[in-house]
Chain A
Amino acid sequence: MKKGRFGAYGGQFVPETLMAALAALEEGQKTICRSREFQDELALYLTEYAGRETPLTFCRNVSDDMGCRVYLKREDLLHGGAHKLNNTLGQALLARHMGKKRLIAETGAGQHGVATAIAGAVLGLPVEVYMGETDCTRQHLNVVRMELMGATVIPVSCGTATLKDAVNEAMRDWAASSEDSAYILGSVVGPHPYPRMVRDFQTVIGKEARRQILEREERLPDAVIACVGGGSNAIGIFYPFLGDDVALTGVEAGGRGIEPGEHGASLGHGRPGILHGALSYLLQDDDGQVLGTHSIAAGLDYPSVGPEHSMLRDTGRVRYESVRDKEVLEAFRYLSRREGIVPALESAHAVAYLLRERDRFEKDDIVIINLSGRGDKDITREVVHEQN
């Protein structure tokens, strides 16, 4: 397999300007991240600062309703309110070890931006976050949170003014600033070494979940379900189960329907293409122009997906499905009401899949849902009330 590839997917499709920065990052990851010192330091931040390990919660009410044993992996309880901090603490620590003076990031839902702002604040590095104008409006709470923690939010108005365009701007910034700035990419997307590095930082989710379920049930789960935007929370929980007899399901944004521009299901409806440095499934037209996307969840409103997921799709090891906005809203309200847990709209995709597909599971089946984040950012009148 070629360097930085997952099967045919991945690679380093970036302008030459960024190749030196990627080589340095790769070197840093190989040497610094593998050192005992780095790992101890990161482990300390992840525990006493970020609040790991996160609980694996057995949901009695949901289990009764679904007719199987349902657990939630509670990344919503991680500091910042989503799994994103696992990655940003790792990357920001690496950046500090590499002597970088400034962090840049893109964000969709604002959760990765918030997590970068947190890491920057605690590690003493200034943070600038690119965020699509559309997302600044619909995830306003997170804009305020980032600013409160000292980060600068830069609204992006070009293109579709969502996550894809925020990544474009962050990459343009980095092309000019890589000598002193680190680009903290928020998912398992982008050029090598990002997909691997971000996965390695996020597998803490799956390692814990695997150990926790073995302790609690004395056996492995039958199924693990996670939402897929770029795919970092999904690969984070799937990875340690890849070699096991466990059904893995990734849930993409079905949006308003299967017409182009109405969803974010790149694995379901795309074909391989190159965006943001990697070959992966991509929503595009016949000429290779990237299509607009739609999802009620800003964090899933993205036309591509991590290259490792593309490989796992082709090999069939992971099933990729999608749910519509309407189902997501129902799941959002359902989990809030039944368990007193308000999920992020992104995470509610995984819950919605279980609600729809509950008949697939037997009474003794164990299902783990990765609850990648909490929904405070999403609480608006429109989302809470039934008319949608």
Chain B
Amino acid sequence: MSRIKNAFKGPAFIAFTVAGDPDYATSIMIAQTLIRSGADILELGIPFSDPVGDGPVIQRSDERALSAGATTDKAFALVREIRKESEVPVVLLVYCNTVYSREPARFYREAKDAGVDGILVVDMPAEEAGMVMDHAQETGIEQIFTVTPTTPPDRVKKIANLAGGFLYLVSLSGVTGKRETLSEAARPLIRRVREQTKMPLALGFGIADEVQARQAVEAGADGVIVGSAIVEIIERNAGDPERLERELAEFTARMKAAVRNVPGGS
């Protein structure tokens, strides 16, 4: 069984952080803390100069990482670092030019060697995936795709046929960033995608607290993805590694508990 599939045996908590934010060394500690505190999957962003899919919080995270010298090589090194002590699945979240500029064949090979399990290319819809699918196949890396409230049913089918690992359901129309409540579009999205595929469904975008996480699982999500809320903790405590570690550990543990203790959750 693949590491990703294994992570969805119960409702999964998926934690996102940007490789190299606020700097490489701290970012290793952050990844390890998230894993140790219960993240079932680690989603690792490779920072990009022009993250059009992201709101201000993750934009700033990318900027911090890049100005601290983050590179694709270092992101792979971070994955190797994680692999020294953990088998938790790692999914890379990247923008297309990061893959394209390194050449997809080389990017996938190096990712695989580092221990990456899945890759989601934010700005690569199914129509453009020809560039990477063969390499995903050859390396055994699962190609993750997003489905959004604006994705019509025939596209959902097409995407699900192409996708590996799990489907990343984007709970709202827009960019990443914390929201006060679970998006109204989330429930109907989960319901209609569930009818079309048996793949695990992980809901992300906007989810910031236990209430929303629990609601997502109650609505049928197999996993909950949290990004901006984690990155905010990093931003707030960038100067104080000890407090950063503590807050991240507490937050992750709470979210994990919320996701796992849903009555009726699968």
Contact yes or no, A15 B59, CB < 8 A: no
Residue contact A164 to B146, C-beta cutoff 8 Å: no
Q: Which interface residue of B51, B52, B53, B159 has the most chain A CB atoms within 10 A?
A: B52
Tell me whether A16 is interfacial, beta carbon within 8 Å: yes
Residue of B with least CB distance to A277: B123
Q: Which residue of B has the minimal Cβ distance to A14?
A: B123
**A164 to B59 Cα, complex, angstroms:** 14
Cβ contact of A279, chosen from B63, B95, B100, B152, cutoff 8 A: B100
In the complex, the answer to whether B50 meets A16 with C-beta atoms within 8 Å is no
Contact partner of B123 (CB less than 8 A), chosen from A13, A21, A164, is A13
Give bound CA distance, A286 to B95, whole Å.
15
> Which residues of chain A have C-beta atoms less than 8 A from B123's C-beta?
13-15, 274, 277
Q: How far is the CA of A171 from the CA of B53 in the complex (A)?
A: 8
Q: Flag if A159 contacts B174 (CB, 8 Å).
A: no
Interface residues of B (CB under 8 A from A): 48-56, 59, 63, 66, 71-72, 95-98, 100-102, 122-125, 127-128, 145-148, 150-152, 155, 159, 170, 172-175
Which residues of chain A have C-beta atoms less than 8 A from B175's C-beta?
A: 172, 175-176
Asked whether A14 lies within 8 Å of B125 as measured between CB atoms, the reply is yes
Bitwise, A36-61 to B at CB < 8 A (1) or not (0) is: 00000000000000000000000000
Residue pair A20, B150 in contact (C-beta under 8 Å): yes
* Residue among B49, B95, B147, B175 facing the most chain A CB atoms (10 A cut-off): B49
Contact yes or no, A168 B50, CB < 8 A = yes
Q: Which residues of A contact B (CB under 8 A)?
A: 3, 11-17, 19-21, 158-159, 164-165, 168, 171-172, 175-176, 178-179, 272-277, 279, 282, 284, 286-290
How far, in whole Å, are A282 and B49 apart by their CA atoms in the complex? 13
A15 touches B100 (CB 8 A): no
Which of B59, B125, B151 is A158 in contact with, Cβ under 8 Å?
A: B59
- Chain A proximity of B235: nearest CB distance (Å): 15
Contact of B151 with A288 in the complex, beta carbons under 8 Å:
no
In the complex, the chain A residue whose C-beta lies closest to that of B123 is A13
User: CB-CB < 8 A to A172: which residues of B?
Assistant: 52-55, 174-175
Interface centre among A16, A168, A171, A274 (most CB of B within 10 A): A16
Nearest-neighbor residue (CB-CB) of B94 within chain A: A288
Q: Separation in Å of the B144 CB from the closest CB of chain A? A: 11
Set A12, A19, A171: member contacting B150, Cβ < 8 A: A19
Contacts A175-B174, A179-B173, A274-B123; is A15 near B53 (CB within 8 Å)?
Answer: yes
| Set of chain B residues within 8 Å of A178, measured between Cβ atoms | 150, 173
Q: Which residue of A lies closest to B107 (CB)?
A: A288
Q: How far is the CB of B92 from chain A (nearest CB, A)?
A: 14
The reply to whether A19 and B155 contact each other, CB–CB distance below 8 Å, is yes
CB–CB A168/B128 < 8 A: no
Q: Are A164 and B50 in contact (CB under 8 A)?
A: yes
Min C-beta distance of B56 to chain A, whole Å: 8
Knowing A274-B123, A282-B97, A284-B97 are in contact, say whether A17-B174 is a contact too (CB < 8 A).
Answer: yes
User: Is there an interface contact between A276 and B100, defined as CB atoms closer than 8 Å?
Assistant: no
Q: How far is the CA of A275 from the CA of B100 in the complex (A)?
A: 11
Contacts of A12 in B (CB 8 A): 125, 127-128
State whether A16 and B148 are in contact (beta carbons under 8 Å apart), knowing that A276-B52, A277-B123, A287-B71 are contacts in the complex: yes
7 examples of A-B residue contacts, CB within 8 angstroms: A12-B127, A12-B128, A15-B125, A19-B155, A159-B49, A284-B97, A284-B101
| Residues of A close to B173: CB separation below 8 A | 17, 175-176, 178-179
Contact A288 B98 (CB under 8 A): yes
User: What's the least CB distance linking A85 to chain B, in Å?
Assistant: 27
Q: Are A273 and B49 in contact (CB under 8 A)?
A: no
Given contacts A20-B150, A176-B173, A178-B173, contact A273 B101 (CB under 8 A): yes
Assess the B150–A21 pair: CB atoms within 8 A.
yes
* B151 / chain A contacts, CB cutoff of 8 Å: 16, 19-20
Query: CB-nearest residue of chain A relative to B46?
Result: A287
Decide: B50 and A290 in contact? CB cutoff 8 A: yes
Q: Which residues of A contact B146 (CB under 8 A)?
A: 15-17
* Chain A hits for B145, CB < 8 A: 16
State A272–B55 Cα separation when bound (angstroms): 26
Contacts of A165 in B (CB 8 A): 50
Chain B residue at minimum C-beta to C-beta distance from A4: B127
Return the 7 tightest CB-CB contacts between A and B, nearest first. A288-B101, A176-B174, A20-B150, A288-B97, A274-B97, A15-B53, A290-B49
